[in-house]
Amino acid sequence: MFQQCADPKALEGFAWLMCYLTSGKHLLFYASFGTVLGLLAITAPVALLFGFGGAMAARSRIAPLRWLGRAYAAVVRGVPDIIFFLFVPIAMDQGLEWLRSRFYCDTSVPVRQGNEFLVCPAAKLPLSTSPEWMHEIYGIALAVTAFALVFGAFAANVLYGAMQAVPRAQLETAEAYGMTPRQIDRRILIPQMWTYALPGLSNLWMILIKATPLLFLLGVEDIVYWARELGASKTSAYAYPHGDWRVWYFLAILVFYLLMTWVSQRVIDRLSRRLSAGQATFAGETMRRAGAA
């Protein structure tokens, strides 16, 4: 990284440690924290969108759509998360490559050859000639899809319950005033349901944060991957030999996640107070009594 770090064997003490912590692989380790934050920033709204769609489908008056919405939540919630995290990226990757093989490959050659899934080089995703960053983006996109599908199903269940918790009398009153079902959903149901949904969604957010270490199972070089890589014992064959330091790397990750959950809880508490103001809920009634006193 720096000129004084050109010869690590000539370094000692603090200078050695500073050069070690600013090596190229450590910079990738630091960047992997951004990968985790980026995954959360993308996955959370996508999962919420999936969940909202699933909840609305489960309440639909159209029977096939209602069955689809309930089946989505039931199937995903009934299968271990790690199965979906492994199945969805593989299934999507092979599905996309199979579709591309119908256009770019000789269709007389079977894609399934025994236990192998083989397509011609032109159908591979990404192409072997693509730059490294495209391979990384593709892997992260598959990871985001897997996370969003899993947590979207749980969000659908939470949002469906929140919609059911909105007082029925308010919906009937809006209907009596001549509002259409779409107007009732947009003006009455959806604005009020967030108060009831927030506790469940906040728990899902915390679980999503804690699930991000599963990224390394999907081939993404995340903080867990680099902690294992950098913390393992290094012999004199490496520029910076050291013993087994994994405990220190994983301690840094532990602190990172504790800070994430602490900040998240502060934000959730503030949002809960804002949404509860004036609402006919236990939290809203507590705020009303506190203001009256």
Query: Which string of b and e fits 221-233 if b means at least 16 CB within 10 Å?
Result: bbbbbbbeebbee
How confident is the model over 207-211, as a mean pLDDT?
87
Predicted confidence band of residue 144 (pLDDT cuts 50, 70, 90): confident
Query: Residue 293: is its pLDDT beyond 60?
Result: no
pLDDT (tens digit per residue) in 50-96: 999 999 898 888 888 889 988 988 888 788 877 877 888 888 888 88
Q: Kindly compute the dihedral angle of the four CA atoms of residues 214, 215, 219, 222, in this order, to the nearest 10 degrees.
A: -120
Round the average pLDDT of the chain to a whole number and report it: 83
150 three-state secondary structure: helix
Share of the chain above pLDDT 70, in %: 92
243 three-state secondary structure: coil
Query: Residue 280: is its pLDDT beyond 90?
Result: no
Query: Residue 111: is its pLDDT beyond 90?
Result: no
How confident is the model over 98-106, as a mean pLDDT?
85
Predicted confidence band of residue 13 (pLDDT cuts 50, 70, 90): confident
Q: pLDDT at position 289, please?
A: 53
How confident is the model over 195-212, as a mean pLDDT?
88
Predicted confidence band of residue 235 (pLDDT cuts 50, 70, 90): confident
In 115-269, at which residue ranges do the beta strands (DSSP E only) sit? 116-117
pLDDT (tens digit per residue) in 20-31: 888 888 888 898
Q: pLDDT at position 258, please?
A: 93
Whole-angstrom distance, CA of residue 252 vs CA of residue 246: 10
